[in-house]
Amino acid sequence: MAHFEEVCKQSDLHPKPAGLVLQYGTAGFRTSANKLDHIMFRMGLLATLRSKKTKATIGVMVTASHNPEEDNGVKLIDPLGEMLTSSWEDYATQLANTDQNELVKTLKDIIEKEAIDMSQEANVYVGKDTRSSSSSLSQAVLDGVKALGGHSKDYGLVTTPQLHYMVCCQNTRGKYGEATVEGYYRKLSQAFSQLAKNASNRTDDQKHLSVDGANGIGAIKVREMESHLKNHMQLSVFNDGSRGKLNHQCGADFVKVQQTLPRGIKINPGDRCCSFDGDADRIVYYYTDSQGDFHLLDGDKIATLISTFLKELLNEAGLDLKIAVVQTAYANGSSTHYLENTMKVIVKCTKTGVKHLHHAAQEFDIGVYFEANGHGTVLFSDGAEEKIQQLANDTNINDERKKAAFLLQNTINIINQTVGDAISDMLLIEAILAIKGMTVQQWDAIYSDLPNRQLKVKVSDRRVIDTTDSERRAVTPAGLQEAIDDLVKKYEKARSFVRPSGTEDVVRVYAEADTQESADALAHEVSLAVYGLAGGVGDEPKP
Ligand code: G16
């Protein structure tokens, strides 16, 4: 009883702006930071309920990831470090939108529906990114936890995947690792050193990597990690937040969508570079050639590199484990073709959002999942981990199998299996390139991307677009899919789809075709169709 009085009292300090309605999106709530104080308080309440329900620690990360500095958002983390289960997303939306005087009633409804024992202890881990609004918003989360009598631990500035990792470590009682940032650095860097031992001697140039930190938390954390990597890696960190603005003309999303170098990075032709996004859960690689042309190695190329490496190790180890790659509609057609026809691995397509890819990847012994935007990781089933462990402990196997088992073990340890993690992915990619003695150009040459273009269209209400078939086809508004089909027919090797974004107030348009001119033209024509049929606002899209 006392808790509900406290909730009412505290809720008055975090009032909901009249008439504001927000929807739980691709990765939680996300909008202008000045609209989010009540959301954060209420997500503190929800995380406390979720913790009581699951009898486990729950995470709340205050971040708007790739969005501009002015935005903010919140991601909720379930007990094993995965995204909040979808059945609770509705509760999150209800709590977010309920009127101040109905808040306790909404809480009680959730408690009753979920049969939550309110005498159960609750623990919530909270983290934040470097946005100027993140401090007060994470305090609002902490206030929400306290109001419902939960305990909280404030990790302060951490990357999103670091907080996912802490939650998993805590709930597995240390089996996954130690629930500290230091523990995270130690686990990953030890695995990296073990893998790097299997690389032939590398020059300082070969060990060097330029990192664009998007002026965000990833830059701070990769610098902290550097001292643990000793002489295995040499990093130059650009866009470290000392001057530029978060995600502004830099970071993984900018580089992927604009297909160009981030601002503020100084590199020579052939140098290996990568960009993180604003909360360091995405990574893309790139380089420029001697003509100055830009070459992007996105999530699809990363998934290909990692799954090739794993498949080779499984062969060498003599282990019969089923490996699959999970992608979304944004996956470049060439990557899907290569994975299915050359590598002969199972490929699955899901809706956008790592929560969807994560679940699909769990169905296999080894599930490699990556969105083209660089968000992804690898999942090993318990059975697969056990088999690898058994093999590593087997004293009767030959050296080749032993080495493969050792590499697989350390690959498991370097990967953050809770969610996509730019730092962990970076270390794995660097280790693979070193072990295989591969340059970034050789990696890039595994297959050639089909030219592609991504655009955004502003409409008055993006919910008018509904999709099916893993977002590859539009069901509404009437006539839109037919228009896209007709436009696609005009071009060679073409494909296009549209979907409402779950993190920005826009409709996203994707097109690919045999030439860049065709991909650009198709994306533009599809944008015009969206603008015309789905209630475009502002100026008509320009070519
Ligand atoms: C989030 C999700 C990603 C998704 C991205 C864009 O990333 O975690 O899975 O691809 O949003 O989503 P949408 O196209 O719906 O806006 P992040 O890195 O921004 O948290």
The question of whether 152 is a catalytic residue gets the answer no
Query: Residue 260 sits in a domain of what CATH number?
Result: 3.40.120.10
| Residue 377 beta carbon below 6 angstroms from any ligand 1 atom | no
Query: Residue 466 sits in a domain of what CATH number?
Result: 3.30.310.50
pLDDT band at 230 (very low <50, low <70, confident <90, very high): confident
- One domain, residues 361 and 431: yes
- One domain, residues 196 and 325: no
Q: Which helix (H) or strand (E) holds 265?
A: none
- Nearest alpha carbon, ligand 1 atom 17: 65
Percent of the chain with pLDDT over 70: 100
- One domain, residues 148 and 200: no
Task: List helix spans (H) across 450-490.
Answer: 480-489
- One domain, residues 345 and 481: no
Q: Which atom of ligand 1 is nearest to the CA of 25?
A: 15
Sign of CA dihedral 267, 273, 275, 276: negative
Half-sphere exposure of 402 (CA within 13 A, CB side): 7
- One domain, residues 199 and 328: no
| Residue 129 beta carbon below 6 angstroms from any ligand 1 atom | no
- Nearest alpha carbon, ligand 1 atom 14: 501
- One domain, residues 35 and 116: yes
Would the pTM count as exceeding 0.95? yes
pLDDT band at 1 (very low <50, low <70, confident <90, very high): low
Average pLDDT over residues 228-239: 92
pLDDT of residue 200: 82
278 is in which domain, residue-wise?
183-297
| Residue 373 beta carbon below 6 angstroms from any ligand 1 atom | yes
The model's pLDDT over 72-105, given as tens digits with 9 standing for 90+, comes to 999 999 999 999 999 999 999 999 999 999 999 9
pLDDT of residue 3: 85
Which residues 6+ apart lie within 8 Å of 158 measured at CB? 61, 127, 128, 166, 181, 217, 221
- One domain, residues 456 and 498: yes
Which residues 6+ apart lie within 8 Å of 211 measured at CB? 218, 219, 222, 235, 236, 237, 238, 273, 274, 275, 276, 426
Average pLDDT over residues 231-237: 92
State the angle between helix axes of 399-414 and 382-393 in degrees (0 to 180), rounded to the nearest 10. 140
**Number of domains the chain contains:** 4
Catalytic residue (choose from 65, 134, 210, 335): 65
Could you say which of 108, 141, 157 is where a domain stops? 157
Could you say which of 116, 141, 157 is where a domain stops? 157
| Residue 277 beta carbon below 6 angstroms from any ligand 1 atom | yes
- Other CB atoms within a 10 A radius of the CB of residue 167 amount to 29
Residue 354 Cα, ligand 1 centroid: separation in angstroms? Answer: 8
Q: Which atom of ligand 1 is nearest to the CA of 66?
A: 19
Does 253 reside within a domain? yes
Average pLDDT over residues 219-234: 92
Q: Which atom of ligand 1 is nearest to the CA of 373?
A: 10
Residue 24 Cα, ligand 1 centroid: separation in angstroms? Answer: 12
Could you say which of 297, 319, 350 is where a domain stops? 297
Does 542 reside within a domain? no
Say yes or no to pLDDT of 426 above 90: yes
pLDDT of residue 406: 96
- One domain, residues 73 and 84: yes
Give, as one character, the DSSP assignment of residue 55.
Answer: T
How much is the mean pLDDT over the chain? Answer: 96
The model's pLDDT over 253-307, given as tens digits with 9 standing for 90+, comes to 999 999 999 999 989 999 999 999 999 999 999 999 999 999 999 999 999 999 9
